[in-house]
Structures are given as C-alpha cells and as structure tokens.
Amino acid sequence: AGTGTFFVGGNWKCNGTTESISKLVSDLNSANLEADVDVVVAPPFLYIDQVKNTLTDRIEISAQNSWVGKGGAFTGEISVEQLKDIGCKWVILGHSERRHIIGEKDEFIGKKAAYALSNGLGVIACIGELLQEREAGKTFDVCFEQLKAFADAVPSWDDVVIAYEPVWAIGTGKVATPAQAQEVHVTVRDWLKKNVSSEVASKTRIIYGGSVNGSNCAELAKQDDIDGFLVGGASLKGPEFATIVNSVL
C-alpha cells in the first residue's frame, strides 16, 4: 500500500439468495472495519436494492456491469442512470469473466467506462493476462493494451481504480506472489506515468485481485504499489472479508 486510501471491493458475482445475502449483510454490519479504508461491495443487480436498504452506509455499493450508453431498448441490460438511481457509487468493468466468457472487447469496455464516469459512477477498471499469455511472456503487453483502451476513452482518471487481476489467479486458489503482483503494479504505474500523466500515476489506486483471502492478504498489502484488493470468493464470508479490509494495518 502506498497510494491514496486503501480500497477493498467485494465482487459477489452471480451468487446469493435473499436469505444468504441478508446473512452476509448482517455479518458486514457487525464487522469491525478500520476507518481509513474504502470498502465497496458488488452484489448481483437483483439484490442491490435489498443491500442498499439494509447495509451500513459505511460500505458503498458497486454494480458488476453497466450498459454502454443511455438506457432504452436494450433488453436485459441495466443502465448507469438506473444504477445511480438505486444508490450505486461504482461499477466493475472489464472483469475477466466478462472479457473471456461473455466476449466483451477492449473498445466496448472503454466506452462503458467513459459513459459511467461521465454520468457520475466510479469505475473499477479490470485488466489482467491469461495463463498462456503469462507463459508466453506477454503479461505487460496484454495489460498495456487493456489499459490503453481505458486511457483512450475515459474523460478523467479521478474516479477510476485499476484492478490488476491475473486470470490464472481468479477463483483458482493460485494467488499471485506478492512479488509477482508488485512487479505488474509498479509497471502499470509506470505506464500511466508515460502515457497519461505523472499526476494520474501517483494518485490512481491499483488494487490486486485473484484468490485473495484472509491468510494471504497481509503480505500482499505490504507491497508498495498494491493499494487494495478486489475479492471474489472470500467476499462472500463477512468475517473473512473484514480481515482483508483490515489487512493494510
């Protein structure tokens, strides 16, 4: 950790029921969360209203996706305007599951980010390489290409948090080592310095995601350029998520 306020997001993905989410919310409400950490959770769309109405205001709410432009005749989509209306502050964009399972492309993701930012949502902008890309020595190339798509589109970096999530580490239990994550984070920061500005490089938080849990978070949080976490599986357990939130200390 070293840049800005430590940021921890919980990505609940397509998990939960009214009942399990009510339990998770009550665990989060009673958890002891360190004051100096930004904490955000991303429930499935269907449960955002339930969470908004029951979760402590201490924790902000993110969507897991948003439509690329103004709402209207787009069956099955959810607009940025609707997310704002229901109380969301953030949206996760470019998550690897949307890139690689659903097929979203860089340019489309960049447009989504631009639209969300222009309409007042913060963006958790995800990037990260596949295992075969890492093994082929292409980690930086892939991350830079994904970053460039965001950089080419966004009106400002003020409300952007970058999440580096190596795809081989997501949901696999194979966490990147602190050194592996730090190496990419510092290189991403250097890319921002060269391609955006030194101000954006020095103030944009770069968080790590990929099998973060209550046991590995503290070592990762010690790295200079790891400014928080995006947590999948472990964010479904209130006490463990609280441990990760508090890992910066």
Task: State the burial class of residue 237 (Cβ atoms within 10 Å of its Cβ: 0-12, 13-18, 19+).
Answer: middle
**Closest distance of CB 155 from ligand PEP, Å:** 25
Q: Which stretch binds ligand PEP (CB under 6 A): 50-58, 116-124, 165-173, 195-203?
A: 165-173
Site string for ligand PEP, 195-234 (x = CB under 6 A): --------------xxxx-----------------xxxxx
CA 128 to chain centre: 12
The burial class, CB within 10 Å (0-12 / 13-18 / 19+), for 180 is: middle
Select from 151, 165, 93, 155 the least CA-distant residue to 124. Answer: 93
- Of 95, 97, 104, 129, the active-site residue reads 95
Decide whether 99 or 189 has the Cβ nearer to ligand PEP: 99
Catalytic: 185? Answer: no
Cα 129 to chain center, whole Å?
Answer: 15
CA atoms of 206 and 195, how far apart (whole Å):
16
Marked catalytic residue, from 97, 165, 185, 240:
165
Q: Is 11 in the site for ligand PEP (CB under 6 A)?
A: yes
Q: How far is the CB of 230 from ligand PEP (least distance, A)?
A: 5
Q: Which residues bind ligand PEP (CB under 6 A)?
A: 11, 165, 170-171, 209-212, 230-234
The residues that are catalytic are 95, 165
